[in-house]
Amino acid sequence: MKTSINALLEASLLYDAAEP
């Protein structure tokens, strides 16, 4: 479960960084 949350957080951070 914790790894799932970590992956979600990382993906959301990457998405944020990809935004112009």
How far, in Å, CA of 17 to CA of 14, rounded? 5
Strands, DSSP E only, in the chain? none
3-state secondary structure the chain: CHHHHHHHHHHHHHHHHHCC
Distance separating alpha carbons of residues 16 and 2, to the nearest angstrom: 21
pLDDT of residue 11: 93
Torsion of CA 18, 10, 8, 12, to 10 degrees: -30
pLDDT in tens, 1-20: 899 999 999 999 999 888 77
